Chains A and B, each alone.
Chain A
Amino acid sequence: MNPTSTFFSRQRLVTLAVAVQALFILAVAGAGYATTALGRTIVLRTTPVDPRDLLFGDYVRLTYTISQVTPQLWHGPDAPQKGQPVYVLLQPAGRAYEATGVYATEPAATADQAILRGWVTDSWRHGIRLRYNLERYYVPEDAGQALQKAGIRRALLVRVSVAPWGQARIAQVEEVPQ
């Protein structure tokens, strides 16, 4: 094989492959900005955060009010299975959104409702436990100290951006105003 004989020489292909990889990483970053810019913001309420979490590591573990729901909210052909991906229909209730239904397939939502995707981690007679992968918040350096000062076993409000294509990310974490 002569490397210089064709337009697609090995050299050019290697350059192309590396460029595509770099662009892909930039696209992941772009998806982050686009989710905030184009998505809508929903607010979720957490259960009280353990302030000791902030002392160790660079993230806090968040548990949401929608992390555990009653089995009556389940809509699906079969009983929810561990590890199953689900769609959670959210409705505004006061300051934050609360779950009104958990679906195996994507449900229709009215204008004020929102859909968040998650996974079943546990399911028993009296409840379904859900994971949204929003449970780890990597705290930015400055925000960490502010949260630590304020976070004496208090619930937090988490602003989550949900893009039209379903991608979600935590945009901001704040205290519940008194």
Chain B
Amino acid sequence: MSRKLLETEGPKWVAQGIITPEQQQQLLALYPDEGRVVGLLPLLGSLLVGLSALSLVAANWQGLPEWLRLLLLLGSMSGAYAGGEYFLRRRNDSLGIGLVGLGLILFGAGIILTGHMYQLIGYDATGLLAWALAGTALTYLYHSRFLFILTAAIGGIVQGYSTGQLGGFSYFTAALTVWGLGYYWWRRPDGLLATVLATGLLWQAGLLIGHLHAKITWFFIPAMLIYAAGDWQADRPAGRSLQAPPLVAAFLFTLGLALYGEADTYAGMLRPPFLAYISALLLVLALSLAGKYKRGRLSSATDWLLLLPGFYLHGGLALAIATLVVLYAYSGSVLWRAHQENNADRVTLGTVLFILTTMVAYFKLTWAFMDKSLFFLLGGALLLSLSWYLRRKNAQSLAAKQPDAQPDVQSHA
């Protein structure tokens, strides 16, 4: 419950006699105004000051002598770090960490600008790798989520530059993200960091697949390894957050397969060597199931439905239909598990997935056989009735388990 909710809803509750005005004040006192905006202001302020200094220096950059440019780079970086330490020691955490983050950004800018200044050419990502390394070290030193996110982004940038401009995948950067940031998250599980980490790793995995010119389905081996790591994480919500990005990728891929898999040329582009791909996938599956078993979450094994390698079928339309069945089975399993866990958010998620699947199925199966206006009419009617039915079902099942919360649940679902 938040203070905002209490402030807006409180007077109604008093009017309806649910709580007395005194109780309302007591409740409000439980959630003091934390002044989030005030915490954000110094960050924004320092950003603006930094930007103005930056544009001033940038305008005159070429005219400055080399030693002065170097001094400016080193001075601003050290200054930002020192300022960060100063404010952290005075318990002004958001400003302090903001300045340390600025120092880290200035370190990267320093490397790039010094390289430009001496017209140096980068042949490998060593220079930028030092940037990612510094970010990792600072994340551990300050135990900061902000620095973690910044470092994950830096890793993605370095890898993108390395594969895009330098024609080589930086395995060291990938390893640094996996072991450096991965270990940090493993010891300090956190939902937001999990999603950031998984997204960053998926980005690098995608770059690797592109760099190797491998079939894109190989992407799901590293993606599902990330997923499996989520299974072994003792902290359940953080583990789920790590698994969300790989699952989103797998769902979108399966959706694409249902839409375009009918053309054998598309499915053909997806087929890696059968034995190698399947054994790698089974290995990751075993790892994931072992984790689920150990942590007592075997019911979530239905996530693996999305990884069924249907693209090996040469069926044409049959493949598309089989893929749709898999999608229905998956979204159905999400809904079913949401009901079991009594989780309103996941019910919503399951409903959305279900409707998405239905849309694709409808698009796929009826487009060729029907007049277009009738197509849209029937489609609209189908989706409306489906969403009505699912909402009703959600409300019923959730209401049966927690009768008091019914109005609130309905508005969420």
**A pairs with B:** yes
> Would you call B111 and A167 a contact (CB within 8 A)?
no
Q: A31-B118, A141-B62 are in contact. Are A25 and B81 (CB under 8 A)?
A: no
Q: How far is the CB of B87 from chain A (nearest CB, A)?
A: 13
Contact with A along B104-133 (1 / 0, CB 8 A): 000100110011111111110001001000
> Would you call B141 and A133 a contact (CB within 8 A)?
no
Complex interface: chain B residues within 8 A of A28 (CB)? 111, 114-115, 118, 120, 127
- CB < 8 Å A-B pair total: 93
> Would you call B168 and A138 a contact (CB within 8 A)?
no
Interface size on B, residues (CB 8 A): 35
Q: A119-B167, A137-B119 are in contact. Are A24 and B130 (CB under 8 A)?
A: yes
Q: How far is the CB of B120 from chain A (nearest CB, A)?
A: 5
A29 close to chain B: CB less than 8 A: yes
Complex interface: chain A residues within 8 A of B168 (CB)? 85
Q: How far is the CB of B349 from chain A (nearest CB, A)?
A: 39
Q: A10-B141, A21-B134 are in contact. Are A119 and B111 (CB under 8 A)?
A: no
Complex interface: chain B residues within 8 A of A32 (CB)? 114, 117-120
Q: How far is the CA of A156 from the CA of B64 in the complex (A)?
A: 26
**Which of A17, A29, A133 is in CB contact (< 8 Å) with B134?**
A17
Q: How far is the CB of B306 from chain A (nearest CB, A)?
A: 32
Contact with B along A58-85 (1 / 0, CB 8 A): 1000000000000000000000000111
Q: Chain A interface: which size bin?
A: 35 or more
Q: How far is the CA of A26 from the CA of B111 in the complex (A)?
A: 9
**Which of A29, A84, A85, A138 is in CB contact (< 8 Å) with B70?**
A29
Q: How far is the CB of A28 from chain B (nearest CB, A)?
A: 4
> Would you call B167 and A170 a contact (CB within 8 A)?
no
B73 close to chain A: CB less than 8 A: yes
**Which of B70, B81, B114 is in CB contact (< 8 Å) with A14?**
B81
**Chain B residues in contact with chain A, CB under 8 A?**
62-63, 70, 73-74, 77-78, 81-82, 85, 103, 107, 110-111, 114-123, 127, 130, 134, 137-138, 141, 164-168
**Chain A residues in contact with chain B, CB under 8 A?**
10, 13-14, 17-18, 20-22, 24-26, 28-29, 31-33, 35, 58, 83-85, 117, 119-120, 132-134, 137-141, 166-170
Q: A32-B114, A132-B121, A167-B120 are in contact. List 16 more A-B contacts (CB 8 A).
A: A13-B141, A21-B130, A22-B74, A24-B107, A25-B74, A25-B107, A28-B115, A31-B118, A83-B167, A85-B123, A133-B122, A138-B62, A138-B116, A138-B119, A139-B62, A169-B121
